[in-house]
Amino acid sequence: MTVKTIGILLFENVEELDAVGPWEVLSYWTLTHPEDGYEVRMLAAELASVTAAKGLRLLPDTTVADAPPLEVLIYPGGQGTRPRLADPAELEWLRSQRETVPLLASVCTGALVYAAAGILAGRPATTHWESLDYLGELDPSIRVDREARFVDDGDVITSAGVSAGIDMALHLVDRLAGRERAIEVRRGIQYDPQPPV
């Protein structure tokens, strides 16, 4: 059986939960049900540890250059996205991924980098509530959804900030493996938001 790879990108100052939230959902699914034919890998430019926004150090599984072909690419957000918005090499890499990866997803301000690369042109999209205006400024053709936890536009999914990436990842499981599997994963990680405040 050919295993399909879901890659979650890591970079300096990535927001922790943007990356680790989807990782929890997707790795619970893929490890519990390897028969579904998916794996999850953390990707980075180098194999060295990445220091996230609040100081958590994360180790990638593979470099971007050595990663297998991806079925899904998840681009997290955080302050680390800001320099990437103006990095021509990063934006060109994303455009090349658009040509080969069937499904691109973002969490939080990862959508800003997609916008800067032209990937969200003419599409509905969302991001962290503090960056909704900026998303529209980067590309006025984007139909900014200010209310959604995530927006599925077929081959591109964007999610709102931080914890919304968990919702988006559960939606991914639903899309890729079915509703029953997604419900099982949600129960398995005991994700049932009922905020105390």
CB 8 within 8 A of CB 43: yes
Distance CA 107, CA 19 (A): 8
44 catalytic residue (yes or no): no
By residue count, the chain amounts to 197
Q: Which of 67, 108, 132, 185 is catalytic?
A: 108
DSSP classification of residue 7: E
How many angstroms separate the Cα of 59 from the Cα of each of 10, 94, 149, 177?
A: 9, 22, 28, 27
Distance CA 170, CA 29 (A): 9
Residue 93 dihedral angles phi and psi, to the nearest 5° = -60, -45
Identify the burial level of 4 via C-beta atoms within 10 angstroms of its C-beta, where 0-12 means exposed, 13-18 middle and 19 or more buried: middle
Residues involved in catalysis: 108
